[in-house]
Structures are given as C-alpha cells and as structure tokens.
Amino acid sequence: MMAQGQAVVNFAGGEPDFDTPEYIKKAAIKAIEEGFTKYTPATGFPLLKEAISRKFLRDNKLCYDPTQIVVNCGAKHSIYSIVQALCEKGDEVIIPSPYWVSYPEMVALAQAKTRFVNTDPGNNFKLEPKALKRNITAKTKLLILNSPANPTGSVYSKKELQEIIDTVLKHKLYIISDEIYEKLVYDGKKHVSCASLDKSIFARTIVVNGVSKSFAMTGWRIGYLACADKEIIKAIGNLQSHSTSNPCSISQKAALVAISSAKDALMQKMVKTFEDRRNCMMEGLDRAGLSYIKPEGAFYIFCNIKNTGLDSVSFSEKLLTKKEVAVIPGVAFGRDDYVRLSFATNAEKIVEGTKRIHKFLNTL
C-alpha cells in the first residue's frame, strides 16, 4: 500500500527508525578501506570478544572470559544456536506466553517441544513462579526469558527474577536470558540480568544480547551470547563454524566501536525519545479508549482488543484497509485478543495513527 502511495501509518515495525550513528558507520568504512574483509575466527574476532567481555562487566556485573563469548549473525542467530546446541527430540522448553514469535519455531527446528506458560495481564504478563513450577516435567530442559520483553514491554525486577531462578535451580534447568532490549528501559527503571543474581544461576544462564536495537544496527546482523559452561560454548562454536562461519567482518568492526564507546549522552537521548513517544502513544490510546499494558521497556505497546469482538487478524486487516494503520496481530505472539503497536516512529505519526485508531473504533 505504501509503494502505491497510500499514507499508511506504520506501527508494525520491530526496529528503531533512527539511522545507525555516524561514528559507527565510519568504523565500517575504515574496516573496508583497511582490508578487514576476510574471514575472522568463527566465533568472532578477539578484540570484539574482549570488548563484549568488558561490556558485560561494566553494564551487568557479569564476569565472562572472551572464550565464554560467541559473536553471531544477530541475536536471533544467537538464540537459534543455543536451542540447537542444548535441545533435541524429547526435550521440553518453557516459553512464557505472550512470546517473541521466533522462540517456538526455533524449538520446533531442534525437534524439541514447547510448553507455553500463560501469563496474566494483571501481572504485566510476567511469568509467575507458581505457573513455572506447574509446567516443569522430567523432560524440561530450558526456560526462555525475555526482559525487557517483546511484545509486552514488561521488565522483570530483581525480586521477580530471584523467585524464578530459585525454581530454575531447583529443577536444574537452563535459562536463555534474551536481553536485546536492555538499553531501552523507562521511568528510571534499571535492567537486571538474571545471570547476575548469584553464582549458581550464572552457571546455568546463557545471556543473549546484540547491537541491533541499542545502536540502531538491525541490518548489520551482529548479536552475541555468553555462557560460563565451556562445553555449551564449544558446541555453539562448532555449529557456527560448520554453518555460517564468522559473522560479517565489517559489521564486527562496527560493533566493536559501538560496544566499546558506549556514548552515554547519545544513548540517553535515544531512550528519552522513545520514552516521550511511548507517553505520546499512551495518551492517544487513552483518548481512543483502547486499554493496554504500560510498557516499561522495549518499544511496543500490547493493546487489548477483546471489547471489539474481533480476532486480532480481522482487527488488523480492517484497521489497515479502512484507516491505513498497520499493527501486528497478537495471535503471532500467542494472544488473539491483543494487537502489538510499535512506537519506533515519530510523534507526528503516533498522533495521526492513534487518531485514526480512535475513528476506526467508532465505526465498529
């Protein structure tokens, strides 16, 4: 529709609308000019792994040796590799629902079985330890936890994480802690990595992060993972070595500059912009009379459409064709009574889009 010149307001995007910062682009150009255009070690070139190790210490108080880190082709690839390395037929993986769309598919690709654990909007869609306990069986291998979360924007507190990891440790599970939205946290809240809570959970957590969301680098395809268990790291390294080899050498050089420079002022400005946009979208949705879970992080608002009587695909299709606003149907994330709106777009579009949603709701 956009290609045909229609003025669609796009709330469907899953990436920052900012351009990659100039100093990062320059690092990539320099890498090309200096001929850094050949294979690197499969798990990432040493300087980048050292910078990631320093980042974990600086931002998360996590002490990983560079040999405990693997650089992948995006955080999606990191999670895929972990699930492939850890899981096989007969294993069960617990995924709190709503969930990021790719998790269950990755579990299926490893021939393991997903056990969805429903979460409650009254608890900001966060996994409750009791529900986790109820779903653990002798076959459970892994829990995938995402904070700040896509699609809900929920952020787990230290206390909430502590209760979950007590159960994880008791049942000797592994956790993938997907922290890709780490930097995008609002209202003065702080992101906590569950791996940092104590030594035992450090040993059973594989932390995933990357540069896609924090540095507006989605197209560069650099993610990374860290894990204390060297057997797991070795298995993931082998898998990568025989499948993709190293992630793009030029992108690795750009990621090195992004991760090691950590330009706080630039980052704070970006977070403040997202927070303002979130507030703007919440005001628009309040006016439209659509209820939602207030996001504490990431750049999504998960809106309840139950009162409209429409399923999430019909709602999204009608909204798009009648009012030219694009949203993602919640069924993709496990909730057919919700839709996901992204506020990774400018305030003008947010105001216009929420006005159109208001008008659309009045037609139902």
CA distance 214 to 238: 28
**DSSP code of residue 228:** S
87 or 180: CB nearest ligand PLP: 180
Closer to ligand PLP at the Cβ: 175 or 180? 180
Least distance in angstroms from the C-beta of 109 to ligand PLP: 15
Closer residue to ligand PLP in complex, CB, 205/308:
205
Smallest gap, in angstroms, from Cβ of residue 81 to ligand PLP? 12
Q: If you search the block for the tokens 């991760």, which residue do you land on?
A: 259
Q: Which residue minimizes CB distance to ligand PLP?
A: 74
Supply the minimum distance, in Å, between the C-beta of residue 45 and ligand PLP.
18
CA 47 to chain centre: 25
Closest CA to 320 of 304, 341, 335: 341
Residue 355's identity, in one-letter code, is K
Which amino acid makes up residue 303?
Answer: C
Distances (CA, A) of 256 to 50, 66, 206, 275: 9, 13, 21, 27
| Min separation Cβ 94 and ligand PLP, Å | 16
In whole angstroms, how close is the CB of 114 to ligand PLP at the nearest point?
16
Q: Which is nearer to ligand PLP, 40 or 72 (CB)?
A: 72
Please, what is the minimum distance in Å from the beta carbon of residue 14 to ligand PLP?
A: 4
Nearer CB in complex with ligand PLP: 174/220: 220
Nearer to ligand PLP, 178 or 275 (CB): 178
Binding positions for ligand PLP, rule: CB under 6 A: 14, 74-76, 100, 146, 150, 178, 180, 210, 212, 218, 223
Q: Which is nearer to ligand PLP, 103 or 360 (CB)?
A: 103
CB of 181 to ligand PLP, least distance (A): 7
Q: Considering beta carbons, is residue 212 or 316 the nearer one to ligand PLP?
A: 212
What's the closest the beta carbon of residue 199 comes to ligand PLP, in angstroms?
26
Nearer to ligand PLP, 209 or 354 (CB): 209
What CA dihedral angle connects 133, 99, 82 and 68, to 10 degrees? -90
Instruction: Specify the residue for token string 């931002």.
Output: 59
Task: Give 9's strand partners.
Answer: 325
> The tokens 């320099």 sit on which residue?
30
State the angle between helix axes of 347-363 and 312-323 in degrees (0 to 180), rounded to the nearest 10. 110
Q: DSSP E strands: which ranges in the chain?
A: 9-10, 69-72, 92-97, 113-118, 140-146, 174-178, 205-210, 223-227, 291-292, 300-304, 325-326, 328-329, 338-342
- Output the smallest distance, CB 99 to ligand PLP, in A: 9
Q: How many CB atoms lie within 10 A of CB 147?
A: 25
The whole-angstrom separation of Cα 12 and Cα 167 is 35
Please tell me the distance from the alpha carbon of residue 38 to that of residue 174, in angstroms, as a whole number: 35
Provide the 10 A C-beta neighbour count for residue 297.
26
**Pair 292, 340: CB distance under 8 Å:** no
